[in-house]
Amino acid sequence: MPRDDFYETLGVPRTAGADEIKRAYRRLAKQYHPDRNPNDPGAEAKFKKVQEAYSVLGDAKKREDYDRYGRAGVGQVRTDPGGRQVYTWGDGHAVNVEDLEDLFSAFGGGGQERPASIFDQIFGGGNGRASRERRRGRSVRPQAGADITHDAPLSFEQAVRGTKLQLVVTHPDGRAENIDVHIPPGVVDGQRIRLKGRGEPGVGGGPAGDLYLTCRVTPHPSFSREGNDLIVTAPVTITEAVLGAKIDVPTLDGSVSVTVPPGTSSGTKLRVRGQGVAAGRDTARGDLLVVIKIVAPKSLTPQQRELYEALRALEQAPSRRGDASVRTSRSGA
């Protein structure tokens, strides 16, 4: 049965740019994430396919190899449980590296060692040379495994409070791995978290690579952040701004009462201590900044209009009488 085409999986043309591929991946990963589809057993399979496709198309070099050779071009040399070096094709099949290198070398003829076999040219050279060194009884120089990058989708609340995620990480050879990840509180969009040794296995006893998670935080409809401070906009009426008032404003833990001082202007920031982000034990918790927004009524009753007209007359008469600059400006308006 033919395997899915990576471009079709992400729903993008083969000419798609890197940004278009990333946007498609984020949309589909969010759509099929197992946490969002707990009652859909097929969602996790689709999520894994999306992860696998992006692990290749999201990497310029792997995408180039995939475009030239198909899935066979995006395989990987790794160590199997028996300690052998095997090449795993993009379709999941594996073959002993020594056997594969011998097969390619046979096309060179003459039995003489060449600077680089076909295996070396296609698959990077290092593993073919390591195979020859092993057959000669020489030690193989340890090489560190490759690092892996992966996105970690988070809601705004998860990023602020911290959370535990179960992610499906697709390795370059197509192997999917479920990992549990602890996201510390206070992470921001684009922040990278390193999981040491969770990347690709090393060669010749070398250390495994690392897994780097990039936090992708969904914006909140009400809150934004400035460092560890949370920001929320609070609408108030004209009379509340002029006379002062007590208003209830939301926090991530409920609501709190805030005093609006008399004469508060639109855009004023009122600070509520300790209602921001707690990023860690060694970092002081941020505050909640309440941005005042004065909202004028769109319609007035006859009584309200009469009162506002009287107020306007009172405001203009004592404060602007004799002010030539104001009179000139108003007459020229």
Which value, to the nearest 10 degrees, does the dihedral of the CA atoms of residues 78, 79, 80, 86 take?
Answer: 50
Whether the CB-CB separation of 235 and 249 falls below 8 Å is answered with: no
Please state, in angstroms and rounded to a whole number, the distance separating the CA atoms of residues 331 and 333: 6
Give residue 11's pLDDT.
94
At the top level of CATH, which class does the domain 6-135 belong to?
Answer: mainly alpha
Mean pLDDT score across all residues of the chain: 79
Instruction: Render pLDDT for 39-55 as a digit per residue (tens, 0 to 9).
Output: 887 888 888 888 888 88
- State which CATH number among 1.10.287.70, 2.60.260.20, 1.10.150.570, 2.30.31.70 fits the domain covering 148-217: 2.60.260.20
Q: What does DSSP say about strands 224-226 and 148-154: parallel, antiparallel, or unpaired?
A: unpaired
- The closest of 71, 97, 79 to 174, measured between CA atoms, is 71
Instruction: Render pLDDT for 279-297 as a digit per residue (tens, 0 to 9).
Output: 777 778 899 999 999 999 9
Interhelix angle 60-69/41-57, rounded to 10 degrees, is: 100
Whether the CB-CB separation of 194 and 211 falls below 8 Å is answered with: yes
Q: Is 22 exposed, middle or buried (0-12, 13-18, 19+ CB in 10 A)?
A: middle
Whether the CB-CB separation of 167 and 185 falls below 8 Å is answered with: no
Q: Please give the distance of CA 50 from its chain centroid, rounded to a whole number.
A: 15
> How would you write 184-209 as a 3-class SS string?
CCCCCCCCEEEECCCCCCCECCCCCC
Going by pLDDT thresholds of 50, 70 and 90, the confidence category of residue 331 is very low
Instruction: Render pLDDT for 99-145 as a digit per residue (tens, 0 to 9).
Output: 555 544 444 444 444 444 444 444 444 444 454 555 555 556 888 88
Please state, in angstroms and rounded to a whole number, the distance separating the CA atoms of residues 199 and 211: 5
Instruction: Render pLDDT for 169-215 as a digit per residue (tens, 0 to 9).
Output: 888 777 888 899 999 999 999 999 999 999 898 888 889 999 999 99
- CB < 8 Å & 24+ apart, contacts of 29-33: 29/54, 29/151, 29/153, 30/153, 33/153
Whether the CB-CB separation of 8 and 24 falls below 8 Å is answered with: no
Q: Which residues contact 146 (CB under 8 A, 6 or more apart)?
A: 76, 172, 199, 200, 209
Whether the CB-CB separation of 148 and 170 falls below 8 Å is answered with: no
Confidence check: pLDDT of 13 > 50: yes
Q: Which residues contact 287 (CB under 8 A, 6 or more apart)?
A: 229, 230, 271, 272, 273, 274, 275, 276
Whether 148-217 shares its CATH topology with 224-296 is answered yes
In CATH, what number does 224-296 get? 2.60.260.20
CA angle 34, 36, 37 (to 5 degrees): 65
Please state, in angstroms and rounded to a whole number, the distance separating the CA atoms of residues 75 and 73: 6
Whether the CB-CB separation of 275 and 284 falls below 8 Å is answered with: no
Instruction: Render pLDDT for 82-94 as a digit per residue (tens, 0 to 9).
Output: 555 555 554 455 5
Domain boundaries, the chain: 6-135, 148-217, 224-296, 307-333
